[in-house]
């Protein structure tokens, strides 16, 4: 008998048949005597459709109302699941974020979970109820509905598992686990049996959307064992756990990509103190997150500053920087949203040299131009033209020997 938190993603609850199948899986666990909290996403495509509807009304919909709107996707699936389970004779009850007291910051669209009220959940579990919780949503201090950013149901699930001190948090999705690269892009990608929180943090932050990064942060902080697995079979998936001595010590353990990137360049800006600060302060003030930053070497008294933002922030960022560019006397402010970032990750990189040159050589052989580079102790990322993303991922997967069994 265990306390298990399960999360089912959008594809897994994408239609009524799939909801029925998930319900059957849930009842199997329940019949074995386990206590179950089940976190659900909206049906796949629903969140996108809701965003699209609002954008048909206005380019900048009211942020508070957007969260009220987006939270409806998850409200639909939890009620349908509870209807399914109760019709099968099981004691299920659906709960929205505010009902289980998922307290968050007030940042609409990207709120952070501050606290989970355990009492109500525990009460329902004590009554032997199967609790079906709407993922992705919470409530701020003012009682407003908030959402946690795309992919946020993963974080709801891990945070609830941490709050309840659950034995495991199972993330059921449409792939068999965490792979050495996105299995939908690289057919030769291999499933990883066990991965450390740190490597998973890197993978998530660099585009592997199989787990939202904040869910991995929670898992690491509160030591929640996370099991990523398929909702379409019974296979063991990937355990995300503390780093273990016998974990594979290959130099590069995965390749990730992120197409949600765009680049902005301010050309020929005066090379004087305070300019970079002004350019980036403008992004911070607008709540836009900047990823890579490059400042070129000085030519005369001028320099170029290039940085990347997410594609969703691109137009707004370009508009703001065009104004900043005028103020600071930039010759040109231009952008490019047809880019992507490919990265190689591996803790083994700490003690190996030559990874960067192998990566750059491999991309060069495929005639893929590198626009920007950034590195850390355990990863190297390159910005390239978006159309070469898949080719780059497969090439790097091969050159770092990840194709091999």
Among 22-30, 143-151, 175-183, 286-294, the segment contacting Mg ion (CB under 5 A)? 143-151
Write out the binding residues for ligand ASP, residues 122-141 only, by CB under 6 A. 135-136
Round to whole Å and give the CA distance between 392 and 202: 19
In the list ligand ADP, Mg ion, ligand ASP, none, the entry touching 47 (Cβ below 5 to 8 angstroms by class) is: ligand ASP
Q: Which residue is nearest to Mg ion (CB)?
A: 151
**Nearest distance, CB of residue 137 and ligand ASP, angstroms:** 9
Segment contacting Mg ion by CB under 5 A, of 9-17, 58-66, 174-182, 220-228: 9-17
**Residue 346 interacting with Mg ion (CB under 5 A):** no
Q: Which of 177, 148, 143, 126 is nearest to 3 (CA)?
A: 126
CB of 73 or CB of 151, closer to Mg ion: 151
In terms of Cα–Cα distance, which of 305, 203, 299, 297 is closest to 257? 203
Question: How far apart, in whole angstroms, are the C-alpha atoms of residue 220 and residue 210?
Answer: 16
Among positions 151, 177, 183, 335, the unique one binding Mg ion when judged by CB under 5 A: 151
Q: Which is nearer to Mg ion, 48 or 361 (CB)?
A: 48
Cα torsion through 41, 208, 48, 136, rounded to 10: 30
Burial of residue 192 (number of CB atoms within 10 Å: 0-12, 13-18, 19+): buried
Segment near Mg ion (CB under 5 A); pick from 1-9, 188-196, 319-327, 382-390: 1-9
Name the one range near ligand ASP by CB under 6 A: 99-107, 123-131, 149-157, 181-189. 149-157
- Residue 146 or 306: the one with the smaller Cβ distance to ligand ASP is 146
Check binding of 10 to ligand ASP (CB under 6 A): yes
- Look at residue 264 and give the partner it binds from Mg ion, ligand ADP, ligand ASP, none, a contact being a CB closer than 5 to 8 Å depending on partner kind: none
Nearer to ligand ADP, 155 or 306 (CB): 155
Buried b (16+ CB within 10 A) or exposed e, 272-290: eeebbeebbebbeeeebeb
CA distance linking residue 368 with residue 366, whole number of Å: 5
**Contact 96/71 with Cβ under 8 angstroms?**
yes
Q: Of these partners, Mg ion, ligand ADP, ligand ASP, none, which one is at the site of residue 183 (CB under 5 to 8 Å by kind)?
A: ligand ADP
| Count of C-beta atoms within a 10 Å radius of residue 269 | 25
- CB-count burial class (<10 Å; 0-12, 13-18, 19+) for 123: exposed
In the complex, least distance from residue 61 CB atom to ligand ASP, rounded to whole angstroms: 16
Q: Which stretch binds ligand ASP (CB under 6 A): 41-49, 57-65, 268-276, 280-288?
A: 41-49
Instruction: Output the six-digit token pair for 394.
Output: 């497969």
Q: Which of 11, 27, 41, 94: binder of ligand ASP (CB under 6 A)?
A: 41
Interacting residues toward ligand ADP by CB under 6 A? 9-12, 41, 151, 173-175, 178-179, 181-184, 203, 208-210
Q: Which does 184 bind (CB under 5 to 8 A by kind): ligand ADP, Mg ion, ligand ASP, none?
A: ligand ADP
Restricting to residues 113-132, which ones interact with Mg ion according to CB under 5 A? Answer: none
Q: Which of 42, 69, 102, 324 binds ligand ASP (CB under 6 A)?
A: 42
Identify which of 76, 148, 59 has the alpha carbon closest to the alpha carbon of residue 109.
148
Q: CB under 5 to 8 A by kind: which of Mg ion, ligand ADP, ligand ASP, none does 135 bind?
A: ligand ASP
Q: Which is nearer to ligand ASP, 148 or 380 (CB)?
A: 148
Decide: is 14 part of the binding site for Mg ion (CB under 5 A).
no
CB of 41 to Mg ion, least distance (A): 7
Q: Which residues bind Mg ion (CB under 5 A)?
A: 9, 151
Q: Which residues bind ligand ASP (CB under 6 A)?
A: 9-10, 41-42, 47, 73, 135-136, 150-154
């Amino acid at each position: 008998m265990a306390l298990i938190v399960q999360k089912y993603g959008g594809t897994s609850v994408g239609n009524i048949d799939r909801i029925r199948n998930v319900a059957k899986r849930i009842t199997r666990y329940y019949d074995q005597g386990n206590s179950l909290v089940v976190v659900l996403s909206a049906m796949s495509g629903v969140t996108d459709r809701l965003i699209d509807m609002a954008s048909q009304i206005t380019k900048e919909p009211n942020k508070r109302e957007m969260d009220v709107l987006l939270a409806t996707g998850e409200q639909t699936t939890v009620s349908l699941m509870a209807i399914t389970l109760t019709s099968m004779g099981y004691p299920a009850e659906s709960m929205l974020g505010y009902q289980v007291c998922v307290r968050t910051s007030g940042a609409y669209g990207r709120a952070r979970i501050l606290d989970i009220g355990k009492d109500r959940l525990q009460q329902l579990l004590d009554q032997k109820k199967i609790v079906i919780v709407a993922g992705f949503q919470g409530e701020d201090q003012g009682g407003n509905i908030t959402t946690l950013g795309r992919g946020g149901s993963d974080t709801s699930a891990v945070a609830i598992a941490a709050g309840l001190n659950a034995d495991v948090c199972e993330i059921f999705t449409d792939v068999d686990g965490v792979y050495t690269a996105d299995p939908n892009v690289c057919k030769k990608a291999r499933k990883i049996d066990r991965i450390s929180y740190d490597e998973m943090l890197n993978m998530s932050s660099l585009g592997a959307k199989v787990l939202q990064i904040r869910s991995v942060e929670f898992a690491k902080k509160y030591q929640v064992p996370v099991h990523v697995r398929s909702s379409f079979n019974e296979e063991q998936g990937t355990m995300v756990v503390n780093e273990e001595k016998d974990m594979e010590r290959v130099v590069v353990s995965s390749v990730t990509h992120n197409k949600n990137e765009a680049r902005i360049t301010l050309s020929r800006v005066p090379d004087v103190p305070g300019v970079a600060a002004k350019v980036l302060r403008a992004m911070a003030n607008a709540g836009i997150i900047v990823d890579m930053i490059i400042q070129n070497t000085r030519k005369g008294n001028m320099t170029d500053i290039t940085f990347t933002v997410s594609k969703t922030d691109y137009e707004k960022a370009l508009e703001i920087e065009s104004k900043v560019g005028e103020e600071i006397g930039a010759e040109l402010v231009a952008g490019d949203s047809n880019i992507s970032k490919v990265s190689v990750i591996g803790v083994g990189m700490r003690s190996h040299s030559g990874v960067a040159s192998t990566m750059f050589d491999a991309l060069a052989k495929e005639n893929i131009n590198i626009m920007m580079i950034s590195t850390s102790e355990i990863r190297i990322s390159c910005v390239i033209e978006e159309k070469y993303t898949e080719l780059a991922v497969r090439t790097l997967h091969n050159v770092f020997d990840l194709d091999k069994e």
